[in-house]
Chains A and B, each alone.
Chain A
Amino acid sequence: MNVTTKVIDLAELSRDDEFPFFAAIYSPVPGSPFVLSPTAMRWSDKLYLSRLSDCKQFWLGQKKKLRCKLTDLFTPLLEHHYGEEYVAVFGNHPWQCLLYLHYQLKHEGRGLFLLESRLNRNIYKTLDWDCWFAPQQALADHLISMNARNFRAESFHSYQARMQRFIQRIGIATPHDMIAADANSIKRRFGKWLGLIWHWSFSDSSDLEWFPWIKLEHEQLPWVKRDLEYPVNQWSYIEVLLREDLSRLCEHSVRNDCEHINRMHWKITLFNYQQVTVELSFRHPYSLHRDMPGFDTALYQARYIYDDLVRNMLARDDDLDLPENMPFICWQLEVCERIILAPQLWELFAREFDQIDYQRIMALQNKLPFAFECYQSDASFFPEQSFTRIPVGTHSVNEADHSPWSSSALNKPLFFYQHAETIENPTAAEKIFLERNSNQWWLGEDALQTIRDYYILKDHNGRSSWAYRTQRGEWYKQGEFY
């Protein structure tokens, strides 16, 4: 018998959908601050803060695709960008991340630590006063640099000294021993800022609450402009010119396979000098350099946008005496959002999942106007809840566990109405009873109304449809036996 044992990993987050909001990363070697998120802050020379919540869905998607733990997902990426000597702490508040990072640096810890895991949370409770006071100097520097309201360095330092004297006098070993103290009482006794620091240290909230977040600006993103010698409106001409522009865009930066584009802006000036800005967005991060020299993906997306634009303009200008297709006289193409992704992430895609090359499917999907539909079964007998639509490549491993539920759908049609249609009582049709179904009757007020009797209805031409009757006697058609 195959017995699956679940081992509790104390260094991992307890819930599968849990995700930290912030990360503090220390690296002795210089690396990009935008490795985990486009929103980052430089805390000191070798220390960055990153707001992970901005990319939560992306990273959770990657985790699901690779079927791994958070540490297994992020460790190779951080090693790739920052080498072996980095220390990263992922937590729900940047201040807590900084405190714990300081502790790990003091104890020569290396690698990735999830602060919300059982193990690290317990260690966090043992942090001493040195760890609590040490990062406050950098905090004071940031508050001064951003000219924070009501912050004066002298008074802050005098409150710090007063608090240290108080701690020595009453002999409390760690901040956690004093956790019963309310942030307001600390504020009254030691000033607003120490009160806030106390609050940040023990709060479960991810709200910054006066934390001095100074967003690090991206270096200027590449762009190219084209002034046309003559107006153009046919895609065949536009395509050639756009391909040249994309090539020029590549020349603006040194080839880096880690660099992926999420969105580009195409700012078009029409013949009547009207400016239209359209967005080329990619479902999956897109590497411009790797698509050289054809740039098929970007050009397909541009083509769909061009078709939409022309259709809208034709509808708008229908009653005006204007050329059939409004020509373009110039445009600007600019990258507006990009992310740095380590190659390991992409290599792993090809290696996993029973040899299904998801990277290839995603690259193809980037070229299409619609996304592929992927489904997986769910544990429910209720038809609408018996499966879910999921992004490409995110099938969970325990899908087979749902077979008792999915096998109940054997006599049901392949296609169904997402919104069941009301029909008249099918008195003339032949009815074949399938099943009685009731969905989560304990949640509704009237349990009887959740009961449905399912039938196959056959009309006089022998055509079958799938329908149900409620306890009120109302009939609904839910599918067709295509």
Chain B
Amino acid sequence: MASLPSQYKDASLQQQLQTARLLKDNLADQSQVLQSGIDVLDECFAQVKPGDLVEWGIPPGLNGRLIPLQLLKQQIPLSVWIYHHHGLGVFASSWISHGVDLQRLFFICSDNPVKELRPLFLEDTFKRIIIDAPRKLTRGDIAFVSQQARQQGQIVFLIRHYFLMAKRGNPHASLRLNTWQSSRHSFSLQFIKGPHSGKISLPYRSVAEDHERYN
């Protein structure tokens, strides 16, 4: 007769449930999907799991995209960065210098991604999809993207070119935050929605080399 696994040999049902929960927690710890190698940042994104949509508020000129970039550095699955910045193209050397594997990160230019790139959202070829400051993205589009991400176990970063506010929410996003370079020596992250709240600061040197060495 087959015997019960040792972890389920507890006498009461309640104890069994507790053991099961502990096991689940252990598994969850092992499989943190977004990792940057920066402890503070990893702690903030520990709860993000496949199927989640993370909304970022990053106005142009404030260098805030370096923060989501940190989460695409460590052993990333196939990912796509959808962008549309007027007259601007990808400066690949900078991405490579930050340690991004450009064999796994693809770019595509579109200002209306859900309409123009629909097949991309219907397949799970890319496990990370970054939608960077789309010009056209309706609430229906966000609902569609979020639903597809849940079905296909993808993580979607939606980057807005303005600061997010709690007043105008996004029910589809599990995490909403603003990021920007607050001074020469630090980056700031302000959490609007999610397990964390308030503002944290990251030293510049943990993200990139300090300008000071050039002066």
- List chain A positions with a Cβ less than 8 A from chain B: 296, 300, 353-354, 356-357, 360-361, 364, 367-377, 383, 386-387, 389, 392, 395, 402, 405-419, 421, 432-435, 456, 459, 461-465, 479-482
Contact = CB atoms under 8 A, between A and B. Distances in A.
Contacts of A356: 78, 103-104
Given A361-B125, A387-B96, A464-B61, 9 more contacts: A370-B109, A374-B102, A375-B92, A389-B92, A395-B102, A411-B211, A433-B214, A433-B215, A482-B63
A435 B214 CA distance: 8
Nearest to A462: B62
Contacts of A408: 93, 97
B108 A370 contact: yes
A247 to B, nearest CB: 20
Contact of A481 (B62, B95, B106, B117): B62
A389 to B, nearest CB: 8
B209 interface: yes
Q: Which of A360, A375, A407, A417 has the most CB of B within 10 A?
A: A375
A408 to B, nearest CB: 7
B163 interface: no
B60 A482 contact: yes
Instruction: Please name the 5 residue pairs, one residue from A and one from B, whose CB atoms are nearest each other, closest first.
Output: A463-B61, A375-B92, A409-B93, A387-B92, A367-B119
B208 A411 contact: yes
B39 interface: no
Main SS class of interface, A: mixed
Contacts of B63: 413, 464, 481-482
B95 A414 contact: yes
Contact of A360 (B69, B97, B125): B125
A411 B212 CA distance: 11
Nearest to A385: B93
B87 interface: yes
Nearest to A375: B92
17 contacts: A367-B119, A370-B110, A370-B117, A372-B80, A374-B107, A375-B102, A377-B92, A392-B106, A414-B91, A416-B91, A418-B87, A462-B61, A463-B61, A464-B181, A480-B60, A480-B61, A481-B62
A418 B215 contact: no
A223 B66 CA distance: 52
A296 B118 CA distance: 12
B69 A414 contact: yes
A435 B209 CA distance: 14
Contact of B96 (A409, A415, A421): A409
B123 interface: yes
A461 B96 CA distance: 29
Interface in B78-92: 78, 80, 83, 85, 87-92
B60 A373 contact: no
A464 B180 CA distance: 11
A414 B66 CA distance: 8
A331 B84 CA distance: 36
A374 B78 CA distance: 12
Contacts of B93: 377, 383, 386-387, 405-406, 408-409, 412
A374 B100 CA distance: 13
A369 B92 contact: no
A418 B88 CA distance: 7
Contact of A406 (B96, B104, B109): B96
Nearest to B132: A482
Contacts of A369: 116-117
B85 A480 contact: yes
B58 A482 contact: yes
Nearest to A459: B61
Q: Which of B78, B95, B102 has the most CB of A within 10 A?
A: B102
B83 A415 contact: yes
Contacts of A414: 65-66, 69, 90-91, 94-95
B102 A480 contact: no
A57 B78 CA distance: 26
Contacts of B214: 411, 432-435
B103 A395 contact: yes
Nearest to B110: A370
Contacts of B106: 361, 372-374, 392
Nearest to A389: B92
Contacts of A480: 60-61, 85, 88
Contacts of A405: 93
Nearest to B83: A415
A364 B123 contact: yes
Given A387-B96, A410-B94, A373 B108 contact: yes
A414 B102 CA distance: 13
B61 A415 contact: no
Contacts of B97: 406-410, 412
Contact of A415 (B89, B117, B125, B209): B89
Nearest to B96: A406
A416 B85 CA distance: 10
B16 to A, nearest CB: 39
A361 to B, nearest CB: 6
A375 B107 CA distance: 9
Given A368-B117, A464-B62, A415 B108 contact: no
B120 interface: yes
Contact of B61 (A360, A373, A409, A482): A482
B196 interface: no
B160 interface: no
Contacts of A373: 90, 106-109
Nearest to A297: B119
A252 to B, nearest CB: 27
A387 B95 CA distance: 11
B49 interface: no
B120 A368 contact: yes
A409 B117 contact: no
A404 to B, nearest CB: 11
Contacts of A374: 102-103, 106-107
